[in-house]
Structure 1
Amino acid sequence: MKIVKLILCVLFGLMFINAGLDKFFHFWPMPKLEGEVLKAGMAMGTIKWLMPLIAVIELLGGLLFAIPKTRALGAIVILPVMVGIVLHNATYMPEGLAIAGPMLLINLWMIFDNRGKYKPMVN
């Protein structure tokens, strides 16, 4: 079970590192956006600092998540972005939930798995 957790967490972290780097270097092709997705994308694009901030959080969170010693912090750092991804997919692109749903579950699993490390923050 330990090796499965390690592999899932490294892959999870690498996916977010990849997503963060893509926001800076644009190496993945952009799908054609239409309708509400286009409007939402254009709205987010008007806030010039938003996508670089999300990219930095994805890079930092992905790196922290992939390293076992910092995984608890990475799981908390990446959670707001992960929730945003799931909500975006649920609202605009339900087919994306096939990837986003399991990723959210991995994120929540790691938060639950590290719950003892968070106790000092809430006591």
Structure 2
Amino acid sequence: MKIVKLILCVLFGLMFINAGLDKFFHYMQVPKMEGEILAVGMAMGTIKWLIPLVATIELLGGLLFAIPKTRALGAIVIFPVMVGIMLHNAIYMPEGLGIAGVLFVINLWMIFDNWNKYKPMVS
């Protein structure tokens, strides 16, 4: 089970590192967008600091998540981004809920798996 967790967490981290790097270097093809999803994308693009901030959080969170010693911090850092991904897919791209849901469950699993490390912050 330990090796499964390690593999899932490294893959999870790499996915977010890749997503963050793509926001800076634009090397992945962007699917054609229309209607409301295009308007949302255009609006997000007008806020000059938003995409670099999300990219930085994805890079940092993905790196922290992939390393076992820093995984608890990475799970908390990436959690708000995961909530945004889930909401975005639920509202605008329901076909993406499958993979987003799997990533969300992995993120929640790591949060609950490391709950004892967060207790001092909430007690």
Instruction: Report the TM-score when normalising by structure 2.
Output: 0.99
Secondary structure in structure 1 of the residue aligned to 2:48:
coil
Aligned residues: 123
Paired with 1:47 and 1:95, the residues of 2 have a C-alpha distance of 27
Where does 1:1-123 land on structure 2 (aligned, <5 Å)? 1-123=1-123
Tell me the distance in 2 between the aligned counterparts of 1:90 and 1:80.
Answer: 15
Letter in 1 for 2:38: L
SS in 2 for 1:108: helix
Q: CA deviation at 1:31?
A: 0.7
Superposition CA RMSD, Å: 0.4
Q: 2:14 corresponds to which letter in structure 1?
A: L
In 2, Cα distance between equivalents of 1:36 and 1:90: 14
Query: d(CA) in 2 for partners of 1:69 and 1:5?
Result: 13
In the aligned structure 2, how far is the partner of 1:31 from the partner of 1:95?
Answer: 13
Alpha-carbon distance between aligned partners in 2 of 1:97 and 1:10, rounded to the nearest angstrom: 21
SS at match of 1:38: helix
Q: CA deviation at 1:98?
A: 1.2
Calculate the TM-score normalised by the size of structure 1: 0.99
Which residue identity does 1:51 align to in structure 2?
Answer: I
User: What is the one-letter code of the residue matched to 2:17?
Assistant: I
Q: Percent identity?
A: 82
* 2-structure distance, mates of 1:122, 1:39: 39
Deviating above 3 A after TM superposition, structure 1's stretches of 4 or more consecutive aligned residues are: none
Letter in structure 1 aligned against 2:23: K
Unaligned runs of 5+ in 2: none
